[in-house]
Structure 1
Amino acid sequence: MRDEDLVLTGIRLQDRTSSADTAQSFNIAPALGLVAPEILAEEISLKAKRESERREAKARSDASRKEAGAKPPSEMFLNQLEKYSRFDDKGIPTHDASGKEIAKSQLKKLQKLYDVQSKRYAAYLKLKEKREL
């Protein structure tokens, strides 16, 4: 009723406004008031548009996470031959492109990335197995 019938008549009805809202902006709409129906309809359409954009962004990020999980962790660094020249048995780089051994701090960062990818890949395999059953 609030978003359909009252909009047509030009009545704005809001649940509440917080003190943070009033501190940030001087032109906060009243909780109950008369406003031009066109303005209310425009506000509702903007709100719906923002919500759909938020859903699309979430769907894109979920899809990119799933796509990132499809790659085995052992192959994660192997395509970065311009950065790394040697790899250990797990596929973690041990030497940079010039042949120097990678510093321990950098090696720890790479190990963390490898561990994160391992978890993603395990979740991907579990999901794939469920779909096949």
Structure 2
Amino acid sequence: PADEQLAPENAALEYWIEHHLQSGKPINLAMCLHNDSGGQLHPGLTNKPDYAYKMKRLEDLLRRHTWFTEGSQPPGCGGADVFSGGLIERYGIDTIVAEYNAERIAKFNRPPLHWDWITYGRKLVAVLCDYFELSQP
């Protein structure tokens, strides 16, 4: 468990997850989204059935619906396993770290503009609807 004094954001996340799960509401996917200078997906390292398939499916949907093209690191590579592996193992939540290159969008071969981030967010709705096989709004 996270220390509230040393990592209050982690403690708050754990509190929310535990109360959400205790109320009988499953959490089927957690994505940590942030910018870096590389931009790739970082799946967790786990033996959870179908996890690799689901993360590959998520990557394919990101490629189809958004400007994401950078690819994925091997499972558990780098610091991603702290977030992904921890939530997978402790709570059974499919989790992935999605890093987006803050300096260049590979698909457009240029730096990202504010509109690119807005568009990405809008398109992420289609990704998640397809991922969960829901009707799009």
Larger Rg: 1
Structure with more helix by fraction: 1
Query: Do Structure 1 and Structure 2 share a fold, with TM-score over 0.5?
Result: no
Q: Which TM-score tier does this pair reach, normalised by the shorter chain? A: under 0.3
TM-score of the pair, normalised by structure 2: 0.25
- TM-score scaled by length of structure 1: 0.25
